[in-house]
Amino acid sequence: SSELTQDPAVSVALGQTVRITCQGDSLRSYYASWYQQKPGQAPVFVIYGKNNRPSGIPDRFSGSSSGNTASLTITGAQAEDEADYYCNSRDSTGNHVVFGGGTKLTVL
């Protein structure tokens, strides 16, 4: 399968911890990466590989993976974390890249 499935929407109280998940068969073979997108802006690279943060990404963002599920965890969510989050991975053939449908995170 070349699909990655994400929950359409998730909410979290300010300062609490939230996990955003991404499911797909290809995640058994390839690590996901995660992107944050705010309205009207380009995506921002936030997590890749086993659990790597690009320079400038706060350490409250972390990643993990188990079986066919990759997760992005925000520990102590801030108001500025409200955004759409997308996962991606290679597909099962390894030749193509696929994105999940995105998760809209609301910080209450």
Partner 1 sequence: EVQLLESGGGLVQPGGSLRISCAASGFTFNIYAMSWVRQAPGRGLEWVSAIGASGDSTYYADSVKSRFTISRDNSKNTLYLQLNSLRVEDTAVYYCAKNLASYSNYIDYWGQGTLVTVSS
Residues of this chain that interact with partner 1 (CB under 8 A) are 30, 32-33, 35, 37, 42-45, 48-49, 54, 84, 86, 88-90, 95-102
Rg (CA), the chain: 13
Fill in the DSSP letter of residue 68: T
Q: Which residues contact 41 (CB under 8 A, 6 or more apart)?
A: none
Nearest CB to partner 1, comparing residues 5 and 76: 5
Give the shortest CB-105-to-partner 1 separation in angstroms.
Answer: 14
Closest distance of CB 54 from partner 1, Å = 6
Give the residue with the Cβ less far from partner 1, 22 or 107.
22
Q: How many degrees, rounded to 5, is the angle at CA 26 between CA 46 and CA 17?
A: 40
